[in-house]
Amino acid sequence: MDFLLSALKAAAEPTRLRLLALCAHGELTVSELTQILGQSQPRVSRHLKLLCDAGLLDRFREGIWAFYRLAERGACAELARTLVDAIPADDATLALDLERLDQIKRARREAAAQYFRDNAARWHEIRGLHVPERDVEEALLKLVPVEGVRDLLDVGTGTGRMLELFGPRVDRAVGVDSSREMLAVARVNLERAGLRNCQVRLADMYQLPLPTASQDAVIVHQVLHYAEEPSEVLGEAARVLRPGGRLVVVDFARHDLELLRTEHAHRRLGFADDEVSGWFAQAGLDAGPVVRLPGTPLTVTIWPAIRRAAPFKTAPLAVTGATQ
């Protein structure tokens, strides 16, 4: 009962209740919350710390920034949502806060759109070399049954497209990427789609910030060709899978387009089936039937696998490399 009393005490203050309401609408930084509330940063930070300590908010660090959102797990997560839902929809203070929040989201969308415009030519050049993304997505939806999937991880989430695709079908989804710019784009896309059960995190694909056996499905979509050590990426993905959980890798079959290495920073020019199945076996995964989607000149390949129930050991994880 003590934890409940502490949480109620933490929320029983006007500014902190406003913070809870705002963080229920997405991930926000101290700076953004300060702009909305019109209060000093030290004061807002103190309020946020109390709410986090009480288990009503979650805090995630991203470089020098920290993002806050309504708690999703823990003893007080349901209480946090109940308190937010109890705030009258016509409350004048909340209405003004949400109006200012909308201004911040519009600024985010414009920054994300500019980044996309600046890089669109590079992405479209690669997309023109293989089958349409919709064909890949249709195949993925068939390969990743979501019945009973509570937690899904997207490694190298980029613009968050895999989260948009699977988010409505699972309880919770997390995307990780090492690019802050791409995460900004992903956040905008998830907000636009209204996917509050999805979130993104700045993280290294060699050291995922998730507990062992915590995910029901992991997707590694067009990321492995950037890796210095693909086997270690798959070993780390396997680590966070629950027994019986599913890993799906989407990438190119072996090819000889040096352009992708010299101009697009690809470390590997695609992969062979036996190469990927060998990494699966090393990571304690049982490979499934391979799906090939031929294009001109690239073939997109989907390699599925299932996590074995028996414990397994992986090689020591590298700390080099970055998720793209």
What is residue 195's predicted lDDT score, i.e. its pLDDT?
94
Sequence-distant (6+) residues with CB within 8 A of 167 are: 173, 190, 193, 195, 197, 198
Per mean pLDDT, which range of 9-18, 59-68, 141-150 is the poorest?
59-68
Please, which pLDDT band fits residue 210 given cuts at 50, 70 and 90? Answer: very high
CB atoms within 10 A of CB 258: 10
Same domain for 269 and 159, yes or no, is yes
Same domain for 182 and 34, yes or no, is no
Cα–Cα distance measured from residue 321 to residue 15, given in angstroms and rounded to the nearest whole number: 42
Q: Quick check: is 120 in a domain?
A: no
Please, which pLDDT band fits residue 199 given cuts at 50, 70 and 90? Answer: very high
Using a pLDDT cut of 90, give the percent of the chain over it: 63
Q: Quick check: is 83 in a domain?
A: yes
Cα–Cα distance measured from residue 272 to residue 299, given in angstroms and rounded to the nearest whole number: 11
What is residue 121's predicted lDDT score, i.e. its pLDDT?
62
- 109 contacts 278 by C-beta, under 8 angstroms: no
Same domain for 222 and 74, yes or no, is no
Which segments within 105-231 are labelled E, that is strand? 151-155, 172-177, 198-202, 215-221
What is residue 89's predicted lDDT score, i.e. its pLDDT?
84
Please, which pLDDT band fits residue 319 given cuts at 50, 70 and 90? Answer: very low
190 sits in which H/E element: helix 180-193
Same domain for 278 and 146, yes or no, is yes
What's the mean pLDDT in 297-323? 66
Q: Quick check: is 250 in a domain?
A: yes
Q: Is the pLDDT of residue 314 over 50?
A: no
Rounded to 5°, the CA angle 273-210-223 comes to 35
Q: How many residues does the chain have?
A: 324
- 138 contacts 162 by C-beta, under 8 angstroms: no
Q: Quick check: is 314 in a domain?
A: no
Q: Is the pLDDT of residue 229 over 90?
A: no
Same domain for 144 and 293, yes or no, is yes
CATH number, position 155: 3.40.50.150
Domain with 86, as residue range(s), is: 2-99
Q: Quick check: is 324 in a domain?
A: no
What is residue 21's predicted lDDT score, i.e. its pLDDT?
94
Q: Quick check: is 247 in a domain?
A: yes
Same domain for 62 and 138, yes or no, is no
Please, which pLDDT band fits residue 116 given cuts at 50, 70 and 90? Answer: low
Please, which pLDDT band fits residue 117 given cuts at 50, 70 and 90? Answer: low
Same domain for 238 and 179, yes or no, is yes
Same domain for 206 and 301, yes or no, is yes
Same domain for 152 and 283, yes or no, is yes
Same domain for 73 and 197, yes or no, is no
Residue of higher predicted confidence among 76 and 263: 76
Q: Is the pLDDT of residue 238 over 70?
A: yes
Same domain for 217 and 302, yes or no, is yes
Counting the structural domains of the chain, the total is 2
Q: Quick check: is 107 in a domain?
A: no
Q: Buried b / exposed e across 190-228, counting CB within 10 Å, b at 16+? A: bbeeebebbbbbbbbbbebebeeebbbbbbbbbbbbbbe
Cis peptide bond upstream of 297, omega within 30 = yes
What is residue 320's predicted lDDT score, i.e. its pLDDT?
32
**Average pLDDT, rounded, for the chain:** 88
Q: Pick from 56, 83, 99: which residue ends a domain? A: 99
Is residue 215 helix, strand or coil?
strand
CB atoms within 10 A of CB 64: 5
- 242 contacts 306 by C-beta, under 8 angstroms: no
Of 253, 250, 251, 270, residue with least CA distance to 261 = 270
**Residue where the block lists tokens 């989407």:** 250
Same domain for 155 and 236, yes or no, is yes
What is residue 82's predicted lDDT score, i.e. its pLDDT?
92
Q: Quick check: is 315 in a domain?
A: no
What is residue 313's predicted lDDT score, i.e. its pLDDT?
46
Q: What is the pTM of this model?
A: 0.75
Q: Buried b / exposed e across 124-134, counting CB within 10 Å, b at 16+? A: eebeebbbeee
CATH number, position 23: 1.10.10.10
